Chain A
C-alpha cells in the first residue's frame, strides 16, 4: 500500500475499504470528542491547573505586591508614604468586629455599599447591553443607519464620562438616576462599538453562502450576522463591564448616597484612610467577579469557538 492510500484512509475514516496494519499504525481517525460529565471536568481542570506553574506564580505575584506595600509604608517608612494606611492596619480594620472607622466585614453598612454599587452596575449594564447590542448590530448591518448614526456616535464617544457629570445631574433628578445614567453611557458606547465591529468582521462569503442556500435577509441576520458577531459582542461586554465600574466609581464620588465610590470619597473627606483602601480593594474584587461572570456566559454561548480552539 502506498503512502497516498494510507493518508487517504486517514482522511476518509468512514469509507469502507481495506484496512491494513499499516493504516492502523499511521492513521488516527478523526472522531468527535466524547463529552465527559461537567463535574468531572471541573475537578480535572483544577488538578491540571495545580500541576502547572500558574497558581504558584499568581501567589508569588500577590505576595510581592503586598510585601512592597508593607515594607514601603510600615518598615521603610518612605517619606511620601507617611499618611498611607499600612497593610496591617487596613486588614486589621477590615476584619475587625469593632472597626475604628465604623466599617468592616462585620458591619451591615459595608454590604449595603457593595449592594448599592452592584445594583447600579446591574441596571446600567443591563440597559447598555439591551440597547447597545441592537444598535451596534444595526449600525454594522445597515449602511443607511450607519451613515447617519455613526458620525454622531464618533463625536459623542470620546467625551470623557466625567464631562457628562454636570449634564447628568442637571437633567436627571435625585441622586440615583444620574449615577446609573453615567454608568450606562460608557458601557453603551463600548458595547455598541464592538458589536458593530463584530458585524463588520464577518467574512462576506458567509453572507453570500447563506444567500446561495436560500436564506432571506432576516434569516441571514439571525443565522449569520448575530452568531458571527458574537465573539466581538462578548469582547465588548467585557470592556463594557470594565468601563461601567470605572464610571460608577467616578459618578458615585460626585453624586449618590451609598456605593463604593461614595464610600471612598467620604472616607477621604472624613480622614478615615484605611476605609479608602478597603473600598478600593473591594471594588477590585467585585469588579473582577462581574467580569469573570460575563466571560463565563460568553464561553457558554460560543461553544463552537472553544471546541475549535481546544483541538487547534
Chain B
C-alpha cells in the first residue's frame, strides 16, 4: 500500500443527532455526539447493548441519515440533515455482528465479490488478488470451501479480508466477535491486529466488551446509554504491535480498571431502563 494513502480515512462526527420512531413515539438514539477518528486509527466504541452505537455506525455506512449534525470522511460530508446521504459503498465496508459471507459462494468468490461487481478488476484478476490476500491473512487452503464448511472464527477472518479487498477508507465493525467464545476471540484479535499492521486502515469498532476494546484500540470511546454520546474517551498508550500476552501486563490492567467503573455505571443505567439486546 502506498504511503500517500496514510491520510485517508479521517472520520469526523459533529454534533450528530438521530431519533428513532418506535410505536408512535420518538426516541432519541444519538444525542449531540461529537468525536474525531484519525486516519489509520483503531477507534473502539464501547457501550451497553442498545445504547445507539449501531445507529451511529449505520449513519457512517450510509444506511440512514441524521436528524442533526453531520459526519464527514476526509472532509467530504457523508450525512447531515437536509443533505442526501452518501450512498452505501466500498469506501466504508461494514462487517456485521452475525457475519454476512454469502453461503452460496465459496470463500474465494466471496472475497473476490467487491472488485468484481464494481468492475474494478476483471473476474480473473479479482480472484488472483483474493488468493493473495487470503494467503496473506493465513487463510490459504480455504479458497474453494463454502463458508458453511468452516468454523465461525475462519468466517470472521474471511469477512474482514473480503472488506479489505476493496481498499476501504474505513472499516466498520459491528460487534463482529460477539457470539464467539473467549479463546476464539483472542485468536481473532491477534489476527485482526496482524491485518491492521499491514493495511493501517481506519477501524471503527463497536463492542460492549471493554477488554476487547482496550486490547485492540488506540482510543476507546465509552458511550452513555441511550441517548448515546461520548462519556469518556480513553487513550490506550500501549502501542502496536500487540500480542495476546498483553493482557497480563500491568498497564493493560490499569487501563481496564480505570474504565470499568465508567462502563459499569452505564451498563447499570441501561439495565434499569430495561434495554433489550441488539
CB of B142 within 8 Å of the partner chain? yes
A228 contacts the other chain (Cβ, under 8 Å)?
yes
A20 close to B (CB within 8 Å): no
Question: Which residues of A278-312 are within 8 A (CB) of B?
Answer: 302-305, 307-309, 311
| B96 & A205 in contact (Cβ 8 Å cutoff) | yes
How many B residues are at the interface, by size bracket? 35 or more
Question: Is B96 within 8 A of A311, CB to CB?
Answer: no
Q: A14-B140, A15-B138 are in contact. Are A213 and B103 (CB under 8 A)?
A: no
Measured in the bound complex, the distance between the Cα atoms of B114 and A308 in whole Å is 23
Interface flag for B27 (CB, 8 Å)? no
- Asked if B104 and A213 sit within 8 Å, CB to CB, the answer is no
Q: Complex: how many Å from CA A4 to CA B182?
A: 10
| CB <8 Å contact, B103 and A308 | yes
Is A216's CB within 8 Å of the partner chain B?
Answer: yes
Asked, given contacts A11-B153, A12-B191, A223-B113, whether A208 binds B100 with beta carbons under 8 Å apart, the answer is yes
Binds A, one of B4-12, B39-47, B144-152, B206-214: B144-152
**Bound Cα distance from A205 to B184, whole angstroms:** 23
Q: How far, in whole Å, are A33 and B141 apart by their CA atoms in the complex?
A: 11
Interface check B63, CB cutoff 8 A: yes
Option from B102, B139, B183 in Cβ contact (under 8 Å) with A206: B102
User: Which residues of chain A have C-beta atoms less than 8 A from B146's C-beta?
Assistant: 303-304, 307-308
Q: Say whether, besides A12-B187, A205-B96, A214 and B166 are in contact (CB < 8 Å).
A: yes
Instruction: Determine whether the beta carbon of A302 is less than 8 Å from that of B104.
Output: yes
- Residue of B90, B106, B138 near A12 (CB, 8 A) is B138
Q: Is B154 interfacial (CB 8 A cutoff)?
A: yes
- What 6 new A-B contacts, CB under 8 Å, besides A33-B149, A214-B114, A223-B117? A11-B151, A210-B117, A227-B105, A304-B103, A304-B104, A305-B103
Q: Footprint of B on A, CB under 8 Å?
A: 4, 7-8, 11-15, 30-33, 203, 205-206, 208-216, 219, 223-224, 227-228, 230, 302-305, 307-309, 311
The 5 nearest A-B residue pairs measured at CB = A308-B148, A209-B100, A214-B118, A213-B114, A227-B104
Q: Can you identify 16 A-B contacts, CB atoms within 8 angstroms?
A: A7-B184, A11-B151, A11-B184, A30-B142, A203-B100, A208-B94, A212-B92, A214-B90, A215-B117, A219-B117, A304-B103, A304-B104, A305-B148, A308-B146, A308-B149, A311-B148
